[in-house]
Amino acid sequence: MNRIAIVKTGSTLPHLASRRGDFEEWILSGMGLPSDRVIVLDAQNGPRLPEPDRFSGVIVTGSHALVSDHHPWSERTADWLVRVVESEIPTLGICYGHQLLAYAMGGQVGDNPNGLEFGTVELDLAQEARDDTLLSGLQPGSVVHVSHLQSVLRLPSGARRLASSAMEANQAFVVGPRAWGVQFHPEFDAEVVTTYIDHFRETLQRQGQDPDQLIAACRETPQSHSLLRRFAAIAS
């Protein structure tokens, strides 16, 4: 049986990783799969990414890198993602992965003119989300964890917007039959997102945001977290 590939594009904060593990571990836990059903591929430091048809699904993690910096490893991963989408392999890009998927398919990524978005926010689901294979499990008013410096400013041609939020026009989209990008973090819990808010405290304050208020508003997001199990079922 083919495994799901988690394409690791970066690591979480070192002090958080030492206590809680890294992005790929949170994703694996959220999917509820045994470790032998998943393979982790290091996009930054590992060998060339294998042929896409070896996998039943692909998840691209978040990263502290910026898509707009066009690192060679990121550009190679973007080219590989085009082949994954064309092969109609179920794909989920999370945060950086969401942005990289959009960029790979012809969209535009850059700084969000509305500023940084951190904390727990409410999704505004588009009509199309109700019938979407992945996002139909979310209910109106679902909340999600967010922590990102850049955004998808323009969706790829043919992509369909599935969700937005007060500060983010493109919280989720689908391109092709089975490739999704979510700007939010279904693998985060409240402790993780509050740690990120605290880490970026000074940056948020310079933008006129109140980190303590953002932290006070954080809460768990079970519906968002369930997307990982739903994706695992799709990929299986």
Global pTM reads: 0.96
Instruction: Given the residues 98, 145, 148, 185, select the one marked as catalytic.
Output: 185
What span, in angstroms and rounded, lies between the C-alpha atoms of 67 and 81? 14
Query: Is residue 187 annotated as part of the catalytic site, yes or no?
Result: yes
pLDDT at 123 over 70: yes
pLDDT in tens, 185-209: 999 999 999 999 999 999 999 999 9
- Averaged pLDDT, 147-166: 96
Q: Where are the alpha helices (DSSP H) in 33-104?
A: 72-86, 96-104
Domain count, the chain: 1
Question: With b meaning 16 or more CB within 10 Å and e meaning fewer, what string describes 74-112?
Answer: beebbebbeebbebebbbbbbbbbbbbbbbbbebebeeb
Distance of CA 70 to the CA centre of its chain: 18
- At residue 166, the pLDDT reads 94
Closest-CA residue to 23 (of 41, 37, 2): 41
Candidate list 95, 145, 168, 225, residue with the active-site label: 95
pLDDT at residue 184 is higher than 70:
yes
Indicate which CATH number applies to the domain containing 113.
3.40.50.880
pLDDT computed for residue 145 by the predictor: 97
Instruction: In whole angstroms, give the CA distance from residue 89 to residue 92.
Output: 10
Domain that holds residue 42: 3-235
pLDDT band at residue 57 using 50, 70 and 90 as cut-offs = very high
Alpha-carbon span 159 to 220, nearest angstrom? 29
Q: Spot the catalytic one: 24, 117, 187, 225.
A: 187
pLDDT at 6 over 80: yes
- pLDDT tens per residue across span 69-114: 999 999 999 999 999 999 999 999 999 999 999 999 999 999 998 9
Looking at the chain, the number of H-run helices and the number of E-run strands are: 8, 12
Q: How confident is the model at residue 1 (pLDDT cuts 50, 70, 90)?
A: low
Cβ-Cβ contacts under 8 Å for 142 (sequence gap 6 or more)? 122, 123, 125, 221, 223, 224
Mean per-residue pLDDT of the chain: 96
Asked about 185 being catalytic, the answer comes back as yes
